[in-house]
């Protein structure tokens, strides 16, 4: 794997971890109980689905992982508008979702197969 591809892969894994930590932390800060832990797990399922493929650097997983970002972007924008108390969490969720999406696209561009 070339150096740009390795850097892009590191960016994907980093932003994926940051978005996952933000979502879980946000849900646990809203409901610090066993129910909050269950809700944190349920809300992180779309991020956990592509995890093994991202770790193994499967290109097709990076393709469909771009679709997994959308719920977090929508949730973050909606909560940032609707609930002023949740704006810091919502803003960080939106920022990390956009960063994760951009890192996925960068990885896909760097690892694009060369035409014959």
pLDDT at 2 over 80: no
Q: Strand locations in 24-113, DSSP E?
A: none
Q: Within 10 A of 110 (CB to CB), how many other CB atoms are there?
A: 16
pTM above 0.85, yes or no: yes
Query: For the chain, percent helix, then strand, then coil, each to nearest 5?
Result: 85, 0, 15
- Secondary structure of residue 69 in the 3-state scheme: coil
The token duo for 56 is 């193994």
Q: What confidence tens digit (pLDDT) does each residue in 51-78 have?
A: 999 999 888 999 999 999 999 999 999 9
Separation of alpha carbons 22 and 16, rounded Å: 10
Among 52, 51, 46, 55, which residue's Cα sits nearest to residue 24?
Answer: 46
Q: State the pLDDT confidence band at 10, using cuts at 50, 70 and 90.
A: very high
């Amino acid at each position: 794997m070339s150096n740009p591809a390795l850097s892009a892969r590191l960016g994907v894994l980093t932003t994926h971890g940051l978005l996952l930590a933000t979502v879980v932390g946000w849900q646990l800060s809203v409901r610090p109980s066993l129910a909050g832990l269950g809700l944190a797990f349920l809300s992180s399922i779309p991020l956990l689905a592509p995890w093994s493929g991202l770790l193994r650097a499967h290109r097709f997983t990076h393709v469909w992982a771009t679709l997994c970002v959308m719920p977090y972007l929508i949730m973050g924008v909606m909560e940032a508008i609707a609930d002023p108390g949740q704006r810091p969490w919502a803003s960080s969720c939106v920022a990390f979702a956009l960063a994760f999406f951009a890192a996925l696209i960068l990885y896909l561009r760097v690892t694009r197969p060369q035409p014959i």
